[in-house]
Amino acid sequence: MPKILDGAAIAAAIKLEVAEEVRALAAQGIRPGLAAVLVGNVAASEIYVRSKVQACAELGLLSDLITPPDTVTTEEMLSLVAALNARDDIDGILIQLPLPSQVDAKLLLDAIAPEKDVDGFHPINAGRLQAGRPALAPCTPAGVIEILKRSDIPIAGQHAVVVGRSDIVGKPAAMLLLNQNATVTICHSKTRNLAELTRQADILVAAIGRPGFITPEMVKPGATLIDVGINRLNTREEFDRFFHGNAKREAAFAKRGSVIVGDIHPQAFELASAYTPVPGGVGLLTIAMLMANTVRAAKLRRGL
């Protein structure tokens, strides 16, 4: 039986460590602070940002939720970022995406001070990550590394194949794996003979944003499968493609009218030595790593 890599347990362990660090900093008169900027009224974003604010409260971090209207301009957002950059009580700045179409998101993210860029999106942090220097790494890829390390899965010397080349997950995941001495191959939508490459993977990271894209014939038996995808299935046809005969998922679909599937077909997990489930895997690490990044930013800013 393959080992299920429990994202909830690992996230809880990281949060406990963060809470201990926050208490240690409090003894020095320091309280790490996170500013979360949520523009407009996008329901999914509201839920996500409020869960981040709640995590700050639970772990003892200062949080400041800022909610500009969806009519906000790029210039107004740049002024807000400049003000947050200047605030000494704020160590991390998070701008929830997506932003309204009139706001230049790239310009805005680049305006965040790199030392407060707890999402790890700034080009300076991307460059530091590539150079193997201390940097604030994007939360989801950093969570992937934590899952592997805390599950005692070897990385050094292993062939890691990353499917997906986004700046948020694919590229930084590849860099982090390379920094851990894995041999890394990056694949994407234009890769030829993709299955040939994925079948070589000791560690296969799927982050392409397509439901069940990695099928059993693309997986080497005994590989570790890390599924970063979160895709919602809303129709019976989609559901039956992945979960026909699965009583537990059937009950969830009947109750909610939808279920979640990752970028790896559930049948492929049967071939793995270990895998991250969806839900319950990588996604749960993202907020924990954001909290860890905020504390790290607080320490780095003060030379600790």
User: Which entry of 91, 96, 116, 202 is annotated as an active-site residue?
Assistant: 96
> Side chain identity at 40, as an amino acid letter?
G
pTM of the model: 0.94
Q: Is 240 a catalytic residue?
A: no
128 inside domain: no
**Averaged pLDDT, groups of 10, the chain, 304 residues long:** 96 98 97 95 84 95 95 97 98 94 94 97 94 92 98 98 96 97 96 97 97 97 97 91 90 90 96 96 95 97 90
102 inside domain: yes
- Among 217, 163, 227, 228, smallest CA distance to 189 is for 163
pLDDT of residue 44: 79
Q: Which backbone phi and psi does 53 adopt, to 5 degrees?
A: -65, -40
Q: What dihedral do alpha carbons 203, 205, 211, 217 form, nearest 10°?
A: -30
Beta carbons within 8 Å of 233's beta carbon, 6+ residues apart = 211, 239, 242, 243, 253, 258, 259, 260, 261
Tell the residue number behind the tokens 């809880």, with chain if given: 12
Q: Is 52 a catalytic residue?
A: yes
CA distance 265 to 1: 17
Specify whether 244 is located in the same domain as 158.
yes
Distances (CA, A) of 49 to 39, 71, 185: 11, 19, 33
pLDDT of residue 47: 86
Last residue of a domain, one of 81, 114, 147: 114
Specify the 3-state DSSP secondary structure of 98. Answer: coil
Specify whether 75 is located in the same domain as 200.
no
pLDDT of residue 6: 96
pLDDT of residue 18: 98
Q: Is 227 a catalytic residue?
A: no
Q: What is the CATH number of the domain that holds 34?
A: 3.40.50.10860
Specify whether 59 is located in the same domain as 184.
no
Distances (CA, A) of 124 to 15, 22, 131, 133, 304: 27, 26, 11, 11, 21
14 inside domain: no
Distances (CA, A) of 200 to 163, 184, 218, 235: 13, 11, 9, 34
Rounded to 10°, the helix 170-179/123-130 angle is 30
Specify whether 159 is located in the same domain as 271.
yes
CA distance 121 to 139: 10
pLDDT of residue 217: 97
User: Which entry of 91, 116, 117, 119 is annotated as an active-site residue?
Assistant: 119
Q: What is the CATH number of the domain that holds 194?
A: 3.40.50.720
- Domain extent, residue 162, equals 139-284
Which region, left, alpha or beta, applies to residue 279 given φ > 0 means left and ψ of -120 to 50 means alpha? Answer: beta
Specify whether 152 is located in the same domain as 224.
yes
150 inside domain: yes
